[in-house]
Structure 1
Amino acid sequence: MTAPVPTPASPADWEAAGVRLEVEGELAVVTLCQPKRRNAQSPAMWRALTAIGRELPGAVRVVLLRAEGVSFSAGLDRAMFTPEGIPGEPNFLALAGSSDQELDAAIAGYQDAFSWWRRPDVITIAAVQGHAVGAGFQLALACDLRVCAEDVQFAMRETSLGLVPDLTGTKPLTELVGYSRALEICATGRWVYGKEAAELGLANLVVPAAELEAAARDLAAALLAAPRNAVIETKALLQGAADRSYQEQIAAERAAQARRLRDLAGIGD
């Protein structure tokens, strides 16, 4: 059995793993900060991202995910594919040789770094430039919204490597572009550039690279301008819409609006 690796406990540990957190009142900025490695991802980075999600102050309403350097994230650290692996981490051969329960738990732990971005109490924005490949693409997809530079290059390369996208990216990708296009993007591993990303709905906004940070912060400011509880209720309505019938959705709208009216009027349940 592979011994569990401890979760990074402090901001210094997070930064050593390639992630930095800065809290600016109701806005949290999460930065991938290993530009010389094109922000290649590792289990240590994923544990840091998971820890950041758990440690976000309750006052945070919007989380902006950005990356230093020319690439958002070039994907998984390829050392995971080698016999040597990453020091202190199980490589893919070790993972494949573990029990069913251990393997499932390991992958579930990796997914934790990606799943919290859709939680109901925050809106998350990815500011994406350059390469967003594999795990990088899925991290961008984990966010509610994506602002992209014109030089963005998305690709889902897992299938080309004999694997599948397993870091929570298949559902949002399918919801955004539809089954047929998602299958084509994943099975071919081809590049999706800025213009097509906007046309397909992968990008909410595409801007020149020099304007990426400002555009993402402008979007964050617009989201923060609306009352928090109204945004939370609206997000919940939209997130659940695909799983509800028309009649169920309009009933959910009525219930949400009743809560909002009573809240605004200061009338408790």
Structure 2
Amino acid sequence: MPQDNILLERDGVRLTADGSVAYVTLCNAAKRNVQSPALWRALGEAGRLLPGQVRVVVVRGEGVSFSAGLDRQAFTPEGFDGEPSFLDLARGSDAELDATITQYQEAFTWWRRTDLITVAAVRGHAIGAGFQLALACDLRVCADDAQFAMRETSLGLVPDLTGSKPLVDLLGYARALEICVTGRYIHAPEAERTGLANLVVPAAELDAAVTDLVGALLAAPRDAVNETKGLLRGAPTRTEPEQYAAERAAQARRLRDLAGLGE
């Protein structure tokens, strides 16, 4: 995957762009791409820096793991340099704590924009925050050594980086509950069987498989793709009549655009 045209490189995140495709790379392979508040701020900035022509965003991790989750240093009294520790955050007011977690979540929400298709290329471990980053994406292509786990509950926490809803949407309430409460690993075959992974390939073929998928995602006209994503993302919260109406409105926009009558 291209590594030129670097738009951002800091705090364990590198953003590169190549025409219609952008690549967000977690680049702290020595620590298995563990995550921190600084990394989350960089991920949020990556979303804001995307050039307007970008249609597909791929997130991947350097080295043997996608992301091993939250850096445990967050739970030490000293925390990270220049950052409050999570223990310090807990001593703040409810409003302060809510605002801080809201900031953290921003790193995980922009992947759902309807003008983008986002793909997680997962090899090795995707644990906790790493699992939730993969869940933030529209699609997941996994190496056959991929292992997902939601470890937050085992640590006395909850998955709060926007991963709870897509996990339930993908796997159903009962399986999502079991996965979160037990903290067990979901290996690649189960991920593919349950729909968590769109595709599983040998590790050596992961990059090629992602490249092929990106090409297929770019084949259809952008406006039609955006409208389709909007219809599908909104479907679970709409009634059937509301969904039918949304389909009619979207199709009317597409027909007018194809006829040269769009705004």
TM-score (norm 1): 0.94
Distance 1:13 1:204, change over 3 A: closer
The question of 1:139 aligning with 2:133 is answered yes
Residue in structure 1 matched with residue 74 of structure 2 by the alignment: 80
Please, which of 73, 95, 101 is the counterpart of residue 107 of structure 1? 101
**Once the two structures are superposed, what CA deviation does each residue of 1:27-78 show, in whole Å capped at 9, x if it has no partner?**
0011001100100001110000000101111110000111110000000001
Please, which of 164, 186, 200 is the counterpart of residue 206 of structure 1? 200
CA distance in 1, matches of 2:39, 2:211: 24
* Runs of 4+ with deviation above 2 angstroms: 11-16
Task: Work out whether residues 74 and 133 of structure 1, in 8 Å CA contact, stay in contact via their aligned partners in 2.
Answer: yes
Task: Work out whether residues 14 and 45 of structure 1, in 8 Å CA contact, stay in contact via their aligned partners in 2.
Answer: no
Distance 1:22 1:185, change over 3 A: same
Residue in structure 1 matched with residue 49 of structure 2 by the alignment: 55
CA distance in 1, matches of 2:114, 2:99: 24
Bigger CA drift: 233-242 or 213-222? 213-222
Distance 1:208 1:40, change over 3 A: same
Distance 1:54 1:13, change over 3 A: closer
Matches within 5 A, 1:20-99: 20-99=14-93
CA distance in 2, matches of 1:42, 1:20: 15
Residue in structure 2 matched with residue 218 of structure 1 by the alignment: 212
- The secondary structure found in structure 2 opposite 1:120 is coil
Flag structure 2 segments of 5+ consecutive residues without an equivalent. Answer: none
Please, which of 209, 218, 229 is the counterpart of residue 223 of structure 2? 229
Task: Work out whether residues 7 and 17 of structure 2, in 8 Å CA contact, stay in contact via their aligned partners in 1.
Answer: no
CA distance in 2, matches of 1:13, 1:252: 36
Distance 1:78 1:13, change over 3 A: farther
Letter of the structure 2 residue corresponding to residue 255 of structure 1: A
Letter of the structure 2 residue corresponding to residue 183 of structure 1: L
1:251 CA displacement: 1.5
CA distance in 2, matches of 1:239, 1:264: 23
Flag structure 1 segments of 5+ consecutive residues without an equivalent. Answer: 1-10
**Once the two structures are superposed, what CA deviation does each residue of 1:161-184 show, in whole Å capped at 9, x if it has no partner?**
000000000000000000000000
**Once the two structures are superposed, what CA deviation does each residue of 1:83-119 show, in whole Å capped at 9, x if it has no partner?**
1211111111101001111100100000000011001
CA distance in 1, matches of 2:7, 2:213: 30
1:20 CA displacement: 0.5
Residue in structure 1 matched with residue 113 of structure 2 by the alignment: 119
Distance 1:81 1:12, change over 3 A: farther
Residue in structure 1 matched with residue 123 of structure 2 by the alignment: 129
CA distance in 1, matches of 2:136, 2:36: 17
CA distance in 1, matches of 2:119, 2:195: 14
1:148 CA displacement: 0.4
- The secondary structure found in structure 2 opposite 1:197 is helix
1:146 CA displacement: 0.2
CA distance in 2, matches of 1:16, 1:240: 34
CA distance in 1, matches of 2:237, 2:78: 44
TM-score (norm 2): 0.96
1:246 CA displacement: 1.2
CA distance in 1, matches of 2:215, 2:13: 23
CA distance in 2, matches of 1:49, 1:184: 29
- The secondary structure found in structure 1 opposite 2:218 is helix
1:15 CA displacement: 2.6
